[in-house]
Structure 1
Amino acid sequence: MPLEFAHQHNGQFPDVGPWRHPEARPLQLSAPLGLETLPGQRFTKVKRKAFDLNLMVVGESGLGKTTFMNTLFNSNLKEEIPVKKIHSSQTVEITPSYYELVEDGVLLNLCVVDTPGFGDELNRERNLAPIIEYIDRQYEEYMAAERHPGFRKTIPDTRIHAVLYFLAPTGHGLKELDVRALKNLSEKANVIPLIAKGDTMTAEEKVAFKSLLLRDLEEYQIRTFPSSYPDEVDDAEELLKHIPFSVIGSDSFALVGNMKVRARSYRWGIVEVENPEHSDFVHLRELLLATCLHDLVECTHGTHYHAFRAKALRSRGRPTSILKCDDSYESQIMDARQRNRQEMERKEEEIRQKFIEKVQEKETALREREEQLNAKKAEMVAELEQYKVLLEKEQRELDELIANSRSNTLSKSTSKLNKAK
């Protein structure tokens, strides 16, 4: 751009930053264009593609994880043969299983990653290592695909979108080993804590147990989904009341009235899996499938994967300064502007306070000077009055002397005249 042009158009074409457009000018349409059909076009296009949901199931043996997953997706997942089986440890096996679920023309590619053997040993830190390794490996594979020449093609997403962590219904707070496991997992993925076998507790015991768990989660600063991601999740306020979810799983059915429902039968009665008064199963299913499936995927990509990617790039020598190629560049710039604005406001307030203090000091000095001048004026006025009184006294004395002198002179003149005659 020539220097003359830059001077002539200075400020008219500001740089709005990378990947952004200047502010557009709104126009009024004189006739309809059919813009209202655009959401429908997007819906049709999106519906053709399959949706991905990768769940990892973590918990002690005997908590009914497999039965619960069958219940969650209304299928018998146990019959599916795993595509691959990765032996990451001698005690914990990472077992991903892949399924296709179709409902009303919508295809969901479901991956359930089981972790048999977790919690069987006293030291769960060794059990946790292969799980963290598996999650990181999926991030590494996705990052390698992004750097591949075929980057603009669709990348198979094998990243873990949610970790369902099953807690035993003990009625007590979190165990120390559970705290360590949850804290490490929450830094890598979206963690959803579940209370397994919720039918073994009364309603009062569930409320008390949930309160203890929520207190421990807050005390140990364990991030859970969706509570810890308010900016990433929409329309989930009602579901937050039921966290952590108390769930029940069952492969059997029972007749309740005229309806056949999933339930667990006991001598004292029937516990319905999908009855909100008996468990939080329906709320968890709504969270995973009906409300927050997109949010889980986006939060995995925008929060956990980006944190892993940034850490990997920093370890390879990339500087920690703000770069325009960072995906979070705009948010970092906005944060920097906000901090600068707050700093400027703070400095402006300090300058204002200093100016007020100096004005007050000056006013006090002037007031004192004025009082001194008023006192000096009063003193001089009093002294002037004294001089005036003395002057008047001397004037009277002088007038008397003049009068006496004139009288004496007149008398002498008269006497001389008399003698002359």
Structure 2
Amino acid sequence: MGLSFSLSADTAQEQGLDLEPPVRMEEEMEGRDLFGYVGIEAVLDQMRRKTMKAGFEFNIMVVGQSGLGKSTLVNTLFKSKVSRKSCTPNYEEKISKTVHLQSVSHIIEEKGVKMKLTVIDTPGFGDQINNENCWEPIVKYVNEQYEKYLKEELNVNRKRRIPDTRVHCCVYFLPATGHWLRPIDVEFMRRLGKIVSIVPVIAKADTLTLEERLEFKQRIRQDLQANGIRVYPQKEYDEDAEDRILNDKIRENIPFAVVGTDKEHQVNGNKVLGRKTKWGIIEVENVAHCEFALLRDLLIRSHLQDLKDVTHNIHYETYRVKRLNESNANGLALSPLTLENGTLEKSDAESHL
């Protein structure tokens, strides 16, 4: 039979014993190098292979009145014919009496990475004499995608990978008037900024001089701040100092003054995307000419995953909590989705969206 005993610090001091306090293993190992290569970094390669094999989804919505070059800009962004107009045979430009959302999906592959790109267009937005409440179908569409995702999550036998149709980014096109935000712009961004990440752009910016463009951008930033409009990237979502420095530079350039085209021209022996005028060629990817490259970097090269994370962790999470609180108040089952104007959600079969 073994005996165990312990000495208090005072007793040990009386007996002249030198007992050091016990050291936790975590503290002992802290700051110590590993004895050899373990291979922890290989998890990055595993994640990369898994992502490349499965691919990922990105859903982008373009909003603005007809004639602002939405389709052209989307094609320019992804250097493909991905817009609704490009994919619709015998397409004719018609002014819709109401806002009907239409989506087109493509599989884009680059260097082994597959992306399912869905472009959601909003024909009819802002084209009428009376544009009152023209944002409601868009609010409804965004909420319906959250609702679909939530119902899939709550299924007992849910899919291993839930299809993601949620809108990850909304690019809002402002006409290059050179004055200020119109009431419809203010109201749309104020309402939609609460449920989706909005990136405002000045369309066809080559119609403004550099001085007019600078003044217009400053007025828009003032209007955004005065009306409490939240556009991406929001300061409260910056995770650390490095993110804040990068995002501050982006916020200084919002809204991006952009020019879109799918035509190439020869400039100094090189092929460039650009618009040819009698004064010269406006190079789309030249930051000295327009800010298209800054928009592309934000949407694709630096913040695409962050846009998806903000959608899931902020906007969808806010919606999920709200809906589950409603269901707890009404009973166990989810109640029908109620929109801001009090109307009930149509079933998927009835809805034309």
Query: Pairwise mapping of residues 81-100 of structure 1 onto structure 2 (< 5 A)?
Result: 81=88, 91-100=98-107
- Aligned match for 1:106, one of 106, 113, 116: 113
Kindly provide the CA deviation profile for residues 33-62 of structure 1, in whole angstroms up to 9, marking residues without a partner as x: 222323222222222221211011100111
Kindly provide the CA deviation profile for residues 295-330 of structure 1, in whole angstroms up to 9, marking residues without a partner as x: 0001001111111111112222359xxxxxxxxxxx
Mapped contact 1:246–1:279 kept (Cα < 8 A): yes
Note if 1:201 corresponds to 2:208: yes
Alpha-carbon distance in structure 2 between the residues aligned to 1:67 and 1:35: 44
- Aligned match for 2:316, one of 305, 318, 342: 305
TM-score (normalizing by structure 2)? 0.78
Kindly provide the CA deviation profile for residues 180-200 of structure 1, in whole angstroms up to 9, marking residues without a partner as x: 111111011000000000100
Q: Deviation at 1:175?
A: 1.0
Mapped contact 1:71–1:251 kept (Cα < 8 A): yes
Note if 1:290 corresponds to 2:295: no
Higher helix share: 1
Note if 1:139 corresponds to 2:150: no
Q: Deviation at 1:147?
A: 0.3
SS in 1 for 2:317: helix
Q: Deviation at 1:149?
A: 2.0
SS in 2 for 1:25: helix
Alpha-carbon distance in structure 1 between the residues aligned to 2:165 and 2:67: 27
- Aligned match for 2:44, one of 21, 39, 44: 39
Mapped contact 1:197–1:247 kept (Cα < 8 A): yes
Structure-2 change in CA distance of 1:232 and 1:147 (3 Å): farther
Alpha-carbon distance in structure 1 between the residues aligned to 2:176 and 2:70: 13
Note if 1:116 corresponds to 2:123: yes
Worse overlay, 42-51 or 106-115: 42-51
Structure-2 change in CA distance of 1:24 and 1:62 (3 Å): farther
Structure-2 change in CA distance of 1:227 and 1:206 (3 Å): farther
Q: Deviation at 1:32?
A: 2.9
Mapped contact 1:56–1:114 kept (Cα < 8 A): yes
Structure 1 counterpart of 2:274, which letter?
A
Mapped contact 2:152–2:159 kept (Cα < 8 A): no
Alpha-carbon distance in structure 1 between the residues aligned to 2:208 and 2:236: 29
Mapped contact 1:173–1:209 kept (Cα < 8 A): yes
Indicate the residue corresponding to 2:254 in structure 1: 243
Indicate the residue corresponding to 1:254 in structure 2: 265
Higher alpha-carbon Rg: 1
Structure-2 change in CA distance of 1:236 and 1:51 (3 Å): farther
Kindly provide the CA deviation profile for residues 251-280 of structure 1, in whole angstroms up to 9, marking residues without a partner as x: 222111111111111112111111101111
Alpha-carbon distance in structure 2 between the residues aligned to 1:265 and 1:123: 36
Structure-2 change in CA distance of 1:65 and 1:151 (3 Å): same
Structure-2 change in CA distance of 1:270 and 1:24 (3 Å): farther
Structure-2 change in CA distance of 1:293 and 1:24 (3 Å): farther
Alpha-carbon distance in structure 2 between the residues aligned to 1:68 and 1:207: 21
SS in 1 for 2:310: helix
Kindly provide the CA deviation profile for residues 162-220 of structure 1, in whole angstroms up to 9, marking residues without a partner as x: 00000000111111121111111101100000000010011111110000000000000
Give the paired residue count: 291
Alpha-carbon distance in structure 1 between the residues aligned to 2:147 and 2:268: 52
Indicate the residue corresponding to 2:274 in structure 1: 263
Indicate the residue corresponding to 1:65 in structure 2: 70
Indicate the residue corresponding to 1:388 in structure 2: none
Alpha-carbon distance in structure 2 between the residues aligned to 1:251 and 1:127: 30
Indicate the residue corresponding to 1:48 in structure 2: 53
Structure-2 change in CA distance of 1:227 and 1:202 (3 Å): farther
Q: Deviation at 1:227?
A: 3.6
Query: Pairwise mapping of residues 360-375 of structure 1 onto structure 2 (< 5 A)?
Result: none
Q: CA RMSD in A?
A: 2.1
Indicate the residue corresponding to 2:224 in structure 1: 217
Kindly provide the CA deviation profile for residues 366-393 of structure 1, in whole angstroms up to 9, marking residues without a partner as x: xxxxxxxxxxxxxxxxxxxxxxxxxxxx
Indicate the residue corresponding to 1:329 in structure 2: none
Alpha-carbon distance in structure 2 between the residues aligned to 1:217 and 1:151: 41
SS in 2 for 1:120: coil
Kindly provide the CA deviation profile for residues 364-419 of structure 1, in whole angstroms up to 9, marking residues without a partner as x: xxxxxxxxxxxxxxxxxxxxxxxxxxxxxxxxxxxxxxxxxxxxxxxxxxxxxxxx
Structure 1 counterpart of 2:49, which letter?
T
Unaligned runs of 5+ in 1: 1-22, 83-88, 320-421
Note if 1:317 corresponds to 2:328: yes
Mapped contact 1:59–1:167 kept (Cα < 8 A): yes
Indicate the residue corresponding to 1:277 in structure 2: 288
Mapped contact 1:97–1:112 kept (Cα < 8 A): yes
- Aligned match for 1:74, one of 76, 79, 90: 79
Structure-2 change in CA distance of 1:31 and 1:292 (3 Å): same
Q: Deviation at 1:152?
A: 6.1
SS in 1 for 2:67: coil
Alpha-carbon distance in structure 1 between the residues aligned to 2:318 and 2:100: 26
Indicate the residue corresponding to 1:25 in structure 2: 26
TM-score (normalizing by structure 1)? 0.65
- Aligned match for 1:185, one of 176, 179, 192: 192
Mapped contact 1:232–1:299 kept (Cα < 8 A): no
Indicate the residue corresponding to 1:346 in structure 2: none
Unaligned runs of 5+ in 2: 1-23, 90-95, 331-353
